[in-house]
Amino acid sequence: MRKDIDYLGHLARESARFAEAVQQVAPDARVPSCPDWGADDLLWHLAEVQFFWGTIVRERVPGDEAEKRKPERPADRAGLLAFYRRASGDLGEALAAASADAYAWTWSDDKTVGFIRRRQAHEALIHRVDAELAAGSRTPLDARLAADGVDEALRVMYGWLPDWGRFTPDPGGTVRLRATDTGDSWLVTPGRFSGTDPDDGTSYDEAAVSAAGSDSGAAAAAEISGTAADLDCWLWHRAPLGTVERSGDPGAHGGFDAAIQPGIN
């Protein structure tokens, strides 16, 4: 989490922009980036997500308890908007009232309010993009927030691997992602993650990536470049506004593509 980014401010702004965009389309209008959803499904999704995390922070409960407190889905657009605005406002207030380093349940190893602030700013940003894609009215992403979104996507959403498994690097080498507008870069290693979850016995053997804590500047087998906003959208499987360029070894690209192909849930 970067201390120079106002995650609470971005959360409020992106949440408001989401509401504006989703109201531009009919309740059943398709969302191109979430093809199984209509616009009201997207509205309900972000509303319940913000309710869930707001409940965790405000009530100091774990995720399973917050899930039990989720209300039934409202029956129409008016009810959905009312619930969304209430949940969004409550989330912002709960996050502002707690210190960033305060304990909070999360699915991550980082169990702090700061993790939730960051995660929810990016959740609102990406779903604002979804709503604008449905409305056909794209607007720019804040470049610094988008660069942080690339970092979160690589190190947390794709790159977080539980310690009960094993990561085996691909022999094809590393891939560098480079944001052409902000100067940020990331060095990632494609490979495979394998192991058995001790909690439920599920076994895994799947493509994965490991992202370095910082880019050492070492030579990479391949490079992917674009603006921070375009890289952020591309990693989330949302259409970028510009072009994402590739160069270098096809094998390294193949390993990286296999790891991100399932997308982020």
Question: What residues form DSSP beta bridges with 189?
Answer: 210
Distance CA 203, CA 201 (A): 6
pTM above 0.85, yes or no: yes
Question: Which ranges of 111-239 does DSSP label H, i.e. alpha helix?
Answer: 113-135, 143-152, 228-235
Residue 28 structure tokens: 């059943």
Distance CA 209, CA 228 (A): 19
Residue 4 confidence (pLDDT): 86
- Give the tens place of pLDDT for each residue, 141-176: 999 999 999 999 999 999 999 999 999 999 888 999
Reported in sequence order, the residue ranges of the chain that DSSP labels E, i.e. its strands, are 30-31, 34-38, 166-169, 175-179, 185-196, 203-211, 222-226, 245-248
Does pLDDT of 2 surpass 90? no
Residue 214 confidence (pLDDT): 87
**Which domains are assigned to the chain?**
7-135 (1.20.120.450), 143-260 (3.30.1050)
Question: What residues form DSSP beta bridges with 103?
Answer: 112
- Give the tens place of pLDDT for each residue, 179-232: 999 999 999 999 999 999 998 999 999 999 999 888 888 999 999 999 999 999
